[in-house]
C-alpha cells in the first residue's frame, strides 16, 4: 500500500505494507533487556478476593497489572524533562510523528577502558546529510542486544561533541541501540543529553532521544521515513515503537 507523506524535509512516497519495526517488545522474562540495575518487568493478573484476572483461571477476560521502568526495560523515548529540575512531559514534546531519518552504522572507538562514538565517525557516516532524525546502529551488531542485561557493562556512549554536532545540523530525533547516549557511570554529568537538548541554556523542547532500539542487519544504512510512535504517558519518558519505511 503506497502512500505519500509530507514532512518538514519534503514529500516522500513509501510502502506502508512494508514496516520495519526497530523497537524491542517488553516481556516479563529474563529475555527482556535490562539496564540501570533493575529487575525484569512484572506482568501479573489482578487479584481481588477470590477473583483472578486470567481466562485460564475462570475469568471472562485477561486483566493484568504491568510494573516497569521506561528507561530500564526496553525501547523508550524521552524529552529534556528527563534531566530538568522542572517537570516536562514527553507527551508535550512530540507533536508530529513522521520524520526523514538516516540510518547509520558506527563502530565505537576504544579509548582506554571506554568505547566512544565520536563526532568524526558521525560526520563520516552522514556524509553531508542533515536529516530530522538519526538512527545510530553500533557495531558489532547482534541479536543479543534484544535481551542483553546492560548493568555494569560500561556500554559505548556518544561523545559530547558528537551530540553537539547533531544539534547544530538540526537533528531533532536521536535514536540509538544503547541504554543511554551517555556513559553508564559519569558522575551525573550527562554531557551528551545536555549537549543535544541544549540544556539548561535554551532547552530544545520539541526534541527527543530514543534509546534501546534494535536495528536488524537486514536494514541497510540510508534514508528512511521514521514513524515515531509513543504511548501517551504524562512523564519524562514513555515506551515507544519507532517504525521505518523505505522511501520508494
Per-10-residue mean pLDDT for the chain, 248 residues long?
A: 77 90 97 98 98 97 98 98 98 95 98 97 97 98 97 98 98 98 97 98 98 98 97 98 95
The answer to whether the CB of 208 falls within 8 A of the CB of 216 is no
The answer to whether the CB of 235 falls within 8 A of the CB of 89 is yes
Q: Which of 232, 233, 115, 213 is nearest to 173 (CA)?
A: 213
**Geometric angle at alpha carbon 17, from 14 and 23, rounded to 5°:** 90
Q: Which CATH number fits domain 2-26+70-246: 3.50.30.50, 3.30.70.240, 3.40.50.300, 3.40.718.10?
A: 3.50.30.50
Residues 77-106 have pLDDT tens digits of 999 999 999 999 999 999 999 999 999 999
This prediction has a pTM of 0.96
Q: Where are the domains of the chain?
A: 2-26+70-246
Please provide the DSSP assignment of 29-87 as one string. Answer: STTS-B-TT----EEEE-EETTEES-GGGT-SS--EEEE--TTTSS-EEE-GGGT-SS-
**Geometric angle at alpha carbon 227, from 130 and 116, rounded to 5°:** 50
Amino acid at each position: 500500500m503506497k502512500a505519500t507523506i509530507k514532512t518538514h524535509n519534503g514529500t516522500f512516497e513509501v510502502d506502508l505494507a512494508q514496516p520495519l519495526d526497530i523497537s524491542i517488545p517488553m516481556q516479563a522474562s529474563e529475555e527482556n533487556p535490562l539496564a540501570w540495575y533493575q529487575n525484569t518487568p512484572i506482568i501479573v493478573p489482578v487479584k481481588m478476593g477470590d477473583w483472578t484476572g486470567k481466562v485460564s483461571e475462570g475469568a471472562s477476560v485477561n486483566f493484568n497489572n504491568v510494573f516497569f521502568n521506561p528507561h530500564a526495560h526496553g525501547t523508550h523515548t524521552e524529552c529534556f524533562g528527563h534531566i530538568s529540575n522542572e517537570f516536562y512531559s514527553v507527551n508535550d514534546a512530540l507533536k508530529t510523528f513522521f520524520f526523514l531519518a538516516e540510518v547509520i552504522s558506527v563502530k565505537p572507538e576504544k579509548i582506554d577502558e571506554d568505547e566512544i562514538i565520536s563526532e568524526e565517525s558521525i560526520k563520516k557516516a552522514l556524509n553531508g546529510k542533515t536529516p530530522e532524525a538519526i538512527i545510530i546502529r553500533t557495531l558489532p551488531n547482534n541479536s543479543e542486544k534484544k535481551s542483553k542485561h546492560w548493568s555494569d557493562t560500561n556500554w559505548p556512549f556518544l561523545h559530547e561533541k558528537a551530540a553537539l554536532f547533531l544539534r547544530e545540523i538540526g537533528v531533532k530525533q536521536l535514536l540509538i541501540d544503547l541504554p543511554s547516549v551517555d556513559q553508564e557511570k559519569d558522575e551525573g554529568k550527562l554531557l551528551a543529553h545536555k549537549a543535544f537538548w541544549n540544556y539548561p541554556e535554551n532547552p530544545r523542547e520539541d526534541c527527543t532521544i530514543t534509546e534501546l532500539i534494535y536495528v536488524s542487519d537486514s536494514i541497510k544504512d540510508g534514508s528512511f521515513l521514521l514513524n515515531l510512535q509513543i504511548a501517551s504517558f504524562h512523564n519524562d519518558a514513555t515506551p515507544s515503537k519507532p517504525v521505518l519505511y523505505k522511501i520508494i
